[in-house]
Structures are given as C-alpha cells and as structure tokens.
Structure 1
Amino acid sequence: MSGDQLLASSKRCVDEGLEAVVAANPGFVLLPEQRVVVERGRVLQGPSRRTGVALVSGGGSGHEPFPVGYVGAGMLAASVAGHVFTSPPAASVAAALTAVGKDNPDGVLVIVFNYTGDRINFGLAVERCRAAGVKVEMYVSGDDSALTKLEGTAGRRGLCGTMFILKIVGALVERGGSMAEALDTCRRVSEATGTIGVAAGGCTLPGASAPLFTVAAGQLELGLGVHGEAGAATIPSGSPREVVEAMLAHLTRQDSATRLPLQRGDEVAVIVNNLGCLTHLEMSNITKEVIMQLKTLGVKVVRVYPGPIMTSLDMRGFHVSVLRLRDPSWLALLDAPTAAPAWSAPCLVTGDTEGEVNVPNLNLTPCHEKSENTYTLREASHVRALQKCLEAVVAKMPQYEQGLNALDAECGDGDCGSTFLQGLAGLVLDALVPAVEALEGSKDHEDLRMVLKAMAAAAEEGAQRTTSMKPRAGRASYVRQEKLRGEDAGARCVALVLDALCRH
C-alpha cells in the first residue's frame, strides 16, 4: 500500500485492477502479459465465435472504468491498457488486434484517443498487423473544445465525448454494420461532439505524495485534459450555475475553432463525467444545471449520462460532453443494449417532461402545522423577556460554531455547531416587536433569573462530565473510547445557550 492509497503497489496496481475486473466478469478473457482484455465470444474456436467488425480501444490506465469497463457485446471487442497515464506498447496493442482480428473477415476498427503517444503506438501496431494479414483500420478521435485555435497543436484531444463514438459505432457493428459505415459514423459523431472540463486541482499518481498540479484557492482550471494538461484559462470557482454557465459559454463561443455550434431546437445527448473525486450530491447539482442551462439555450437534452465515465484517478473536477443528435439513428444506437458493465442507462429518456404534473391529493399533514403542545405568550413582559433571551443566544452562539463542530467530529458528523446556527438563522426577532408594543404590563423576572442560573450551572457541570462518560446511544456509541477525548457537543451546546440566557 502506497501512503494513503489503497493499492498493493504502484507497479502492480494496473494488473491487479484488470485481474479483478475479469474475475467479476466471466465473459472476459485476460491476456495478462499484454494487459489486454477480450470479450470471450471473440476468441472462441469454431462456429460459436462471434464475428462482425470488432472495435478495439485503450490507452494509459488511471481513467477507469475506461477502457476495460466498456468491453462487451455492443461496444468494445477488446481493450488494451498501459501503465498509469502511459500509452500501451505497440506489442500489447498488436496482441489485442490479433486476438479479435485473426481470421475475422469483417476486420478490426481501432478507435484511438488523440494523444501523441497513443497515435504512435497504436499506429505501429496497426501497420504490423496489416503486414501479418489482419484486416484493420484506425480512427483517431478528438472531441475537445477547449482550444480556440488549432494552429501549432496536435488537434483536438480525445476526451470522454469519444465514449459516444464507442457506444454508437459499437451498436452499429453489433447490428451488422460494415467497416465503411463504422468509419463514416466515427467521423460524423466526432464532428457533432464537443467537450469542456474544469478541475480544482490535479490527481495524485499511485505512489506519489503530491498531486500533478495545483490550482490557486478559489480558482478552477477550465478546459484541462484528462491527464491534467493545462487548460484554456483559469476561472473563479463558484456555484454549479456559475461554473456550468462559463463552461457552456466557452463550448459554444463564436470565435473558437473547436466550438460546438448548438442551435435552438437541437436535440442532444450529454455526458457529465466525474473525473474521480466529486460526490454524488455535487454531480446531481451539476447535472441539473447542465440540463436547465441547455434548455435555456433552446436545446433539448433527450439523454444524459452522469457519472465516472472516464476518470483521471482522484481529480476533483468534471467534463461535459454534448452530442448533437443530427442523425435520427444515433439515439436508437445509444439506447441499444450492451453487455459492457460500465455503460449505464441514461437518466433522462424521451417523454413528456414539459408542463405541470397533477399529483393526487394525498391528505398529508403539513410539516408546519401547529402542534397541540404549542404555547402562546400573551403577556407583554413575557414576550419582551423571550425577545431578550433569543437576542442573547443569537449574539453569543456564532463564536462557538467551529468549536462545537470540532467536538462533534470526534464521534459524529462534525456539524453540531453549524446545525444549531442554521436554526438560529431562521429566527425573525423583529416579529416580536409588534407584540411587545401591542401588550401592556410588566413583571419582575428575578425568580426566573435564579432558575436560569441554576440550570446553567447544572448544564455546565453535566457538559464537563461527558468527557469521561461512555456513550450508550447515537453515533458516538459506535466510536472507540480512546477516540473520544472531548466533551459531548450537544451537551456543550446546551450549556452555552443557558449561559447566554442567564446573563441577560
């Protein structure tokens, strides 16, 4: 294990990952020395062997589930992996091409992501296999829309938008499509696809102690590559709405040579690709913004695929890939079944998503309905006293927020102080003023003050005692005793509130 990474070793991590995938998928065959995974039906002997154009793709590891997760009927016939962020050697690629291409009259189509190392090594393997009699063609895919000019570059980089090609062309050849049809579809899908990404920082390679690159606090790298290559610009971090707005603006900017020319009325499929380290909740917020902002542009999202489609280890960022569905057949090919384990069903399907939906009356009790135990203050003096108490608590408690969170973090979820402050933020103290002015009378509250002092003293003593108590309920009861060094956050919170009350 390297540092905090759950890896057996940096040298063996790719091999063990492939072994695990094959162990979990009996339809796969591993060529271990070459790091090639082949669909079992493609290497069977005799009439049971699957034929038809075979798709092959791959590249450096670290982008899981790509490529091995997309092996299966309806997508790839074989995948080939290099070491982390390293193109596989030509000999390994040739092994994959031979495994699915030997004695296959329909041939092999290699789909290569546009990176120099991959183009060289895959290209060498293609030439060797052709010389050995294997029918093979190669398509180099680029879908990156970060660069505004292509002069002096190697062209558009291959990013997660190329997954649309793997799925559409994979379904096409599964239905008997020819090599010529497959190559033409690759070209047309690529032209109709654009991808833009952002990240808050780089990923950490296996065995390394620091990320490949850092981004200044409060900033995001816009248009970075899948390995962390520099992007087009640095933009301020912000809400999902602000970040997605900046991304779509760059994706469609008029002066960019790689822009995606979206038009009102377009129907699109969208990949929202988690680069590795975003939570599901963050991904949900981002996906919602992508759908809504495209809708604002007059573009209808008919399919959306959120998730870790093509990652970059533990990078904290995401890509958005948009495919203009210019060919009516593409949607059916996207929806066609596949045995590839990593390809998931879309979250949005064709149907009536416009307008309001009439929900039947379920006779549910509103959560804000007054409780039978509600107590109404009728004396002006009582209202004034309550107002002063609440003002004291509101003024006093914010300074303790982080300390309470730290206490809670030892045995809970670290939000005791913040949760309490959220409740205080909901108090509208000004609403009490009219009640004070409307009522008359006054009363000595000295007895109440004495009671509060006694309560505060008891609460303080109780909070201090919790440092030596063994928890018997709640989340703390699951935490080892030696981990519990501080007071109970809830008990300390109560003591602080009562202290604030008795001082006013």
Structure 2
Amino acid sequence: MSGKKLLNTVEKCVDENLEGLVTINPGLRLIKDSRVVVRADIESVKTAGKVALLCGGGSGHEPAHAGYVGSGMLSCAVAGSVFTSPPPQDILTGLRMITKNNPAGTLVIIKNYTGDRINFGLALERAKAEGMSCDIVVVGEDSALTSHDKTAGRRGLGGTVFIHKIAGALAEEGKSLDEVTKLSQQAIDNMGTIGLALGACSTPGSSGPLFTVQSDEMELGLGLHGEAGVKRIKLMTSKETVKVMIDHMRNPENSTHLPIKTGDRVACMINNLGGMSVLEMNVIAKDTIQYLEGDLGLKVDRAYCSTYVTSLEMAGISISLLHLNDTFTRCLDAPTTAPAWLVPLLGPGQTDRQTPEPMTPIGGPNAEGQQIKGASISKDEGDRIYDMILKACERLEAAKEMLDGLDSESGDGDCGSTMSRGAQCIREKLGKKENPGLSVTNPFQLSLELASIVESVMGGSSGGIYSLFFTAASSQLQKEVTVQSWLQSMVAGIAAIQRYGGAEPGDRTMLDALWAAKETFQGKLADMSPVEAFKEAVKAGESAAENTKSLKARAGRASYVSADLLTKPDPGAMAVAVWLRAIQDTLN
C-alpha cells in the first residue's frame, strides 16, 4: 500500500477537510482561525440551559469527531493534526464558545491517550480558572491488552461514539452536568472494544504504511493511530475472525476483558476503520450477530454497522459491545441531527432489534397454483427432443476449448466454459430417456426449465441472454405445438434478446447466427418440408457465425475491444452454430 492521497497540500488537508464538512452540513459552523467545529444553533443550547458537550482528538479518524456535532450529540469538536492531539488553545476556544453564559456547564469527552489527557486537561483547567463549569470523562474501553502490569490504561476506541450518543441524549433531556457525567462514566465502565487490521494506513505525505502486515496475516488488538496490535494471527474467514476477536474481548484472563454472560442485553457496533468494502462489512455484521446471539446467547438489542471512527484508510474493523439498560437504550434511540450517526432500523412495532426470518417467496417454478401446464406432445416426439438436447449438450461440452480460445480475443476467455457448464447441468438433469428428468413431452414446461437452469448455472450475460430466449419462447408453446409455434417461439426468443440485450443483427454477437437461422427457416417453409427448411437454416446460421469475424463489434464485451484485435468469429455466435448443427444431426 502506497502513501498516495488525493489532497491539495499535506499542510492544509485537515483545515480543508473541516471546511468541506461544514460546506455540506449547514447545521455546523467552523470557528475562524481554528480547527473547531460547533453547532450553528449553539446559542439555543445556552438559552435552554442544557449541558454542552465537547470532544476532539487527532484528525484521520473521520467522521469522528466533527461528524457527531449536532443536537442530541456533541455541541463542539476540536481537531488536531493527523493522529495528533489538538493544542490547548483550540480546545479552550471551543470551551469558551459553548460554555460562556451557559450555567448548565460542559462535559468534555476524550479518549484515553496521553496527548489528549494533557492538552484537554490543560484547557479544562484554564476554563475553570475563567469561571466556567466543566467536567470530563475519559473513554478507555480497549479490551485487547493482556498485561496485568501498570500501563497507560485502556485506549479509547470506536466505542467513544456510544458515549457521544448517550451523553448527548441525556443533555438534550435536560439532565444536570453531574447526572450526564455519572451516567456517561457508567456506560464507559460497561463497554469493550476490540480491533483488527488486514493492513496498515499511511499518513498524508508519508511514503508508505505505518507498519507491515503480511498477505496471509492479520493484526489483532490494534488502536486508532496506526500502532501495531497485541499479536499477529493468520488470515481467517470472517466467521473465524469474529470469533477470535470476541473471545479475546471476553477472555477473563485478559486484564481488560469485558465480562459478558448468556442473556445479557447489549448494543453492538461494527466499525469500519476506513478501508473495508461494504460487502465485507455486511458479511462481518452477519457473522458477528450470529455468534453473539447464537453461540453466546446474548440479546443484541441494538446493532450498528458503518464507518464511525476510522484510522485513515486502514483495512480493518473494530467491534464494540455495550451492556444495555433502559436508560442507555433510550439514549441510543433518541433523535439527533449529527450527520455521521446512523440509526439502527427496527421493524414495525419493534422495541428490540430482531434478526428477520426469510420471507416465503411468491410464485416461482415450485409455487403451488402457479403452474400452467402447456400443450403436450407424443412420447415419440418427446424422445426426439430428448435426443436433440442430449446431442446439443455433448457438442457444447466438446467445443469448450475452441469457444474459450475465441473468447480470449474479444472477452474474458470463458465463453466455452460458461456454455459447457450450462450444457453439463442440462445433460445431468435430462437423465435417462426412459424416465427423463426434464419435461421433454411438454415444450412449454421444458422451455421454462431450460431457462431456470441456464440462469442459475451459467451466470453472467450468457446465462441471462439464454434464459431470456427460453422464457420468451415458452409463451408460443403454451397452447399448441406445431411447426409454426416452434417458429414463433424462435421469433419471440430473438425479440426478447434484442429488447433487453440491446443487440441488432450485424452487431457481431450470437444474435447474428440466430437471426440468420430464423430468417432462412421462415423463408424456406413455404417451399420445403420443415426438416429441409431447418437444414437450410442451420447452414445460414453457421455461415453468419463465421462471417462475424469481419463485422465491427457494436454490442457486448467485444465492443470495448480494439477492432484491430478482432480477427476471429464471435464465440457466442459460434456456440449457436454448434447447437444448431447438433439439432440437425438428430433429424437425419
């Protein structure tokens, strides 16, 4: 990981970050010549006689802390340089702004880092000397440390946001400074956090990451400033990782563990440290809730999963647990205008979070009362269709390497593999001729069965296109099965491909072979038998497929490839030619 950042200057990045925040959040204001963000309606807080809240720390943890300024949360946030505690003068500026002429006073919330304790403590003492009413709580909920020796204490991590929310709600309710302070400290004492990283972050202006994690390793128990954790562990699955993290957090042999037992009510916050994808976060959230509720027997009444406190772009997470009581739950649910707080959604009438059961699907191929039978054909005709399907599948499987080779020029080299995968599954489901597994004597049902198979097995655009083809074709085989209905089913299938796929004849796609075969079959039926007309159709389809090598690609993945590289026939069109020829060979 490089130190590459999209900034203007390293020196001004913190200031411009704050300027951007207040630009898009009109409820926030930036105090001139400082790195202090304050509620735009701060005077209404003073007039109402409500306790004000101030927090802050080094930058690089966005959206913390300025993102939590708003009614129901912080009144003011003070930012330092990246990973550096803010200077006492800026903190004092913030305290004056929210505490002067406010008899209710201010609670200062800080994380347990030496720089924060010293600088915020110094500003607090100066504020008191000026006659301001202030108190402080120090958040230290890190559950990673195992040593029983004297240390600097538990670090403040992502759980700090819980304290912002609880203290902010209590202040909004009109509680006194003493009450807000005591209940905030109670929440701190009943909370734990454990962090883990797949890789380190890099600070603005640096040339690389702050520490190195090997590709097959993870760092357990790290803090928020790029510092290494308590130990390196091997890379695991999400489920295994969540278990290791929570087991470490609750291990009584660790001096900083959080005691939890079956039946405890907790709030859980799964925090993105900056570099995790939403996909990963959702998987981790599922595994976390399932382990807490299913394996440990906890009652997770509130669950949160998002980016709350980061370490720049660190690829990692933290998991925070807070023991809940009615007061804390009420405070977590209270409204706030802070832009970074995400509300956990509950179902209608729910007071506690519940993991929803899957809903029963409506309709689908297996739903009772949804089946339309369709017209049937004789056993002999069904046997012939069986032979056609079987031969088409065998030919497509045999053509796998040829089609993949063609696709390596114009796509991602998997056309043959995709077609072969679908053909293999159809062949397996087809079963024995004497007792076929597909509805070969009911072309309407057969078309829908083939559509379902290719859609679920082939995947990608090929699976979708063939599923469209078979699904649309089925509508013409519902009431009767004749030569004309077979022709119309082909017409309907091609029309669906054009409508939804966007391709036209001549665009260098599978449609070129299908279109040529359909047009020829339709034109020859007046003068030939259906079998002879189909033979001519197959020849036309094969010729059109071969001629795609001279066409300009105007649809599909090949349209993004340089024309100079497209010297061979389109693999999708060639696949159509393969199965058309297989069908004809069963008619001889």
Which TM-score band applies after superposition, normalised by the shorter structure?
A: 0.7 to 0.9
Map residues 333-372 of structure 1 onto 2, 5 A cutoff. 333-348=331-346, 350-351=351-352, 353=354, 362-363=362-363
Cα deviations across residues 109-148 of structure 1 (Å, max 9, x unaligned)? 1111111221121122112222222222222111111112
Q: Is the 8 A contact 2:404 2:414 kept in 1?
A: no
Work out which of the residue numbers 76, 82, 92 in structure 2 matches 1:78.
76
Rounded to whole Å, the distance in 1 between the matches of 2:120 and 2:137 is 10
- Give the C-alpha shift of residue 64 in structure 1: 1.0
Q: Match of 1:200, SS? A: strand
Residues 473-498 of structure 1: per-residue CA shift (max 9 Å, x gap): 56887x7x88x885599944665897
- Is the Cα contact below 8 Å between 1:381 and 1:436 reproduced in 2? no
Aligned twin of 1:323: 322
Aligned to 1:389, which of 384, 391, 395? 395
Q: Report what 1:111 is aligned to.
A: 109
* CA drift at 1:343: 1.0
1: CA distance, partners of 2:25 / 2:580: 64
Does structure 1 conserve the Cα–Cα contact (< 8 Å) formed by 2:265 and 2:323?
A: yes
- Residues 69 and 75 in structure 2, CA contact (< 8 A), matched pair in contact too: yes
CA distance in 2, matches of 1:108, 1:418: 69
State, as a whole percentage, how many aligned pairs show the same letter. Answer: 40
CA–CA distance in structure 2, aligned partners of residues 485 and 36 of structure 1: 58
Q: 1:271–1:3: structure 2 CA closer, same or farther, 3 Å change rule?
A: closer
1:286 to 284, 292, 313: 284
Q: CA deviation at 1:430?
A: 5.0
Residue in 2 that maps onto 1:306: 305
Q: CA–CA distance in 2 between the matches of 1:121 and 1:62?
A: 18
SS in 1 for 2:282: helix
**CA 1:192/1:421 → structure 2, altered by over 3 Å: closer, same or farther?**
farther
SS of 1:378's equivalent in the other structure is helix
Corresponding residue for residue 141 of structure 2: 143
Instruction: Give the letter for the 1:309 counterpart.
Output: Y
Following superposition, the deviation at residue 149 of structure 1 comes to 2.1
Find the residue that maps to 2:195 and give its secondary structure: strand
Distance 1:371 1:168 in 2: 61
Q: Post-superposition shift, 1:214? A: 2.8
Matched, 1:9 2:9: yes
Q: Give the structure 2 partner of residue 378 of structure 1.
A: 383
Q: Which residue of 2 aligns with 1:121?
A: 119
Match of 1:272 among 264, 270, 273: 270
The structure-2 alpha-carbon separation of the partners of 1:135 and 1:384, relative to structure 1 and needing over 3 Å to count, comes to closer
For 1:6 and 1:489, the matched residues in 2 are separated by 43
Alignment partners' CA distance in 1, 2:168 and 2:214: 41
Show CA shifts across 1:312-336 (max 9, x none).
22222211111111x3211011111
What is the CA deviation profile of residues 268-319 of structure 1, one whole-angstrom value per residue up to 9, with x for unaligned ones? 1111111122222222221111111111111111111111111122222211
> Does the Cα contact within 8 Å between 1:55 and 1:111 map onto a contact in 2?
yes
CA contact 1:387–1:432 (8 Å) conserved in 2: no
Distance 2:48 2:374 in 1: 71
> In structure 1, what is the Cα distance between the partners aligned to 2:309 and 2:569?
43
Structure 1 residues 263 and 392: CA distance shift in structure 2, 3 A: same
**1:436–1:152 CA distance, 2 compared to 1 (3 A):** farther
CA contact (8 A) 2:301 2:353 kept: no
1:88 aligned partner: 86
For the residue of structure 2 that corresponds to 1:268, the secondary structure is: strand
TM-score with structure 1 setting the length: 0.80
Question: Does structure 2 retain, via aligned residues, the 8 Å contact 1:42–1:51?
Answer: no
Alignment-derived partner of residue 230 in structure 1: 228
2: CA distance, partners of 1:126 / 1:355: 47
Report the counterpart of residue 210 of structure 1 in structure 2.
208
Amino acid in the other structure paired with 2:323? R
Instruction: Please give the alpha-carbon distance, in whole angstroms, between the structure 2 residues aligned to 1:372 and 1:338.
Output: 58
Match runs of 1:28-67 below 5 Å: 28-43=28-43, 49-67=47-65
The alignment partner of 1:254 has SS state of coil
**Is the 2:272–2:318 Cα contact (8 Å) retained in structure 1?**
yes
Contact 1:142 1:158 in 2 (8 A): yes
Instruction: Provide the residue aligned with 1:179 in structure 2.
Output: 177
Are the aligned partners of 1:43 and 1:99 in contact in 2 as well (CA < 8 Å)? no
SS of aligned partner of 1:120: helix
Tell me by how many angstroms 1:403 deviates.
Answer: 5.1
In structure 2, what residue type is equivalent to 1:106?
A: A
Q: Describe the SS at the equivalent of 1:269.
A: strand
Alignment check: 8 A CA contact 1:112 1:141 kept: yes
Distance 1:273 1:362, change over 3 A: same
Please state whether the residue corresponding to 2:108 is helix, strand or coil.
Answer: strand
Shift, 1:264, TM fit: 0.9
Give the whole-Å Cα distance in 1 for the aligned partners of 2:569 and 2:242.
Answer: 39
Q: CA deviation at 1:233?
A: 2.3
Query: 5 Å matches for 1:231-270?
Result: 231-270=229-268
Q: Distance in 1 between matches of 2:207 and 2:423?
A: 41
CA distance in 2, matches of 1:160, 1:344: 14
State the one-letter code of the partner of 2:37: V
- Paired letter, 2:260: L
Letter in 2 for 1:302: D
* Code of the aligned partner of 1:378: D
Q: Which consecutive residues of structure 2, in runs of 5 or more, have no partner in the other structure?
A: 437-533, 583-588
Structure 1 residues 267 and 207, CA gap change in structure 2 (3 angstroms): same
Point out the more displaced range, 106-115 or 374-383: 374-383
Looking at structure 1, the residues matched to 293 and 421 of structure 2 have their Cα atoms a distance apart, in angstroms, of 36
SS at 2:41's partner residue?
Answer: helix
Is 2:390–2:427's contact at 8 Å kept on the other side of the alignment? no
Number of positions where the alignment pairs a residue of Structure 1 with one of Structure 2: 477
Partner amino acid for 1:61? S
The structural deviation recorded for 1:25 is: 2.7
Contact kept in structure 2, 1:392 and 1:501, CA below 8 Å? no
Larger helix fraction of residues: 2
1:38 and 1:78 in contact (8 A); partners too: yes
Task: Trace 1:418-429 onto structure 2 (pairs within 5 A).
Answer: 420=418, 423-424=421-422, 427=425
Write out per-residue CA displacement over residues 225-252 of structure 1, whole angstroms, 9 at most, x where no aligned residue.
Answer: 1222211222333332222122222121
1:215, distance to aligned residue in structure 2 (A):
1.5
Amino acid at match of 1:279: S
CA contact (8 A) 1:111 1:141 kept: yes
Cα 1:90–1:491, aligned 2, differ >3 Å: closer, same or farther?
farther
Q: Note the aligned Cα RMSD (angstroms).
A: 4.2
Query: Which ranges of structure 1 fall in alignment gaps of 5 or more residues?
Result: 409-414, 439-447
The CA distance in 1 between the partners of 2:12 and 2:303, in whole Å, is 35
* Pairwise CA distance, 1:19: 1.3
2:473 aligns with: none
CA contact (8 A) 2:5 2:204 kept: yes
